Amino acid sequence: MKVLITGAAGRLGRASRPPLRQAGHALRITDLSTASLDPVAGEDALSGNLGEPAILERALAGVEVVVHWAATSNEQAFPLVLENNHRVLYELYEGARRHGVRRIVYASSNHAFGLHETSTRLRLDSPYRADCFYGLSKVWGEELGRMYWTKHGIETVALRIGTFMNLPPRNVRELSTWLGLEDLQQLVKLAVEKPGVGFAPVWGISANTRAWYDLSEPNALGYVPRQNAEEFAAGLPKEDAAAADDPASRYQGGKFVTQSWTPAAQRPHR
Ligand code: 15L
């Protein structure tokens, strides 16, 4: 299959390329012109910003499936999130219609759910609770995908990525959100290849003992994670006991929650 990978020079992009190449897919890889794509055999590289119509048209020509990692990937000033995660995503889906793309594998995020408390175990149909404008853009992106499936028959696999750093978990929160390299690679391959999924949300995390997600629930890809962050738990640096009322510990989004947060005493309603 001809597969376009956007954000192909980033952490997720780089890790996605080998399993898709090995499975025999022809890859077109794109990233901003400032990023090093380092293409190898089986990959054709295109540098540039997908927000520019000419680049988008070249990127999508002949493509059946898009794996879309390119985005603003954490909380930033709203105009930047609006440009990269809303407008460019809209252009990508409209481009997909023009070019007959069958499926978009979309990089959603745990931050679409980050204002759920850490005591909550989420199911695939749990309500969104974005923890910042970035998280909210991922809610919007998932709903965009669902709409294009119903109205235009373009499939979307929404990968709700937890924490993928291509490293062992670095703190207690990541014991819940961690996604290991092997699990990411089987997930991406399934997301590209599994036939007939329609609109399919999937938790992009490993089989973590402390997961905030109900992983016993079947998903459309048949993704069954095999790694578990818990095996690294003993080696983690000790963390000070968090204050019971610290919103970064109370809510799943952690520090994304408190980047902008009004203390109770300063709120118009308490
Ligand atoms: C995300 O969505 C971010 O893109 C990533 O940088 C991490 O911060 C991750 O979530 C996380 O929650 O650890």
Q: When comparing pLDDT for 32 and 35, which is higher?
A: 32
Query: pLDDT tens across 183-239, in order?
Result: 999 999 999 999 999 999 999 999 999 999 999 999 999 999 999 999 999 999 888
103-109 sheet: strands from edge to edge: 43-47, 26-31, 2-6, 65-68, 103-109, 155-161, 199-204
Instruction: Give me the percent of the chain exceeding a pLDDT of 90.
Output: 95
| Ligand 1 atom nearest residue 134's Cα | 2
Of the candidates 93, 134, 148, 223, the residue annotated as catalytic is 134
**Mean pLDDT computed over every residue of the chain:** 97
Instruction: Say whether pLDDT at 270 is over 80.
Output: no
Cβ–Cβ under 8 Å, residues 156 and 140:
no
Rounded to whole angstroms, how far apart are CA atoms 250 and 81? Answer: 25
Cβ–Cβ under 8 Å, residues 162 and 229:
no
- Look at residue 244 in the predicted model and tell me its pLDDT: 65
Rounded mean pLDDT of 65-72? 98
Task: Tell if the pTM clears 0.95, that is, is over it.
Answer: yes
Asked if 134 is an active-site residue, the reply is: yes
Three-state SS string across 125-138, please? CCCCCCCCHHHHHH
Rounded to whole angstroms, how far apart are CA atoms 164 and 177? Answer: 9
* Cα 126 to ligand 1 centroid, rounded to whole Å: 20
Query: pLDDT tens across 159-191, in order?
Result: 999 999 999 999 999 999 999 999 999 999 999
Query: pLDDT tens across 83-133, in order?
Result: 999 999 999 999 999 999 999 999 999 999 999 999 999 999 999 999 999
Pocket test for ligand 1, best of 11, 68, 73 (most atoms within 8 A of CB): 73
Residue with tokens 């006991």: 241
Instruction: Say whether pLDDT at 75 is over 80.
Output: yes
Cβ–Cβ under 8 Å, residues 79 and 17:
no
* Cα 250 to ligand 1 centroid, rounded to whole Å: 17
Query: Cα-atom radius of gyration of the chain, to the nearest Å?
Result: 19
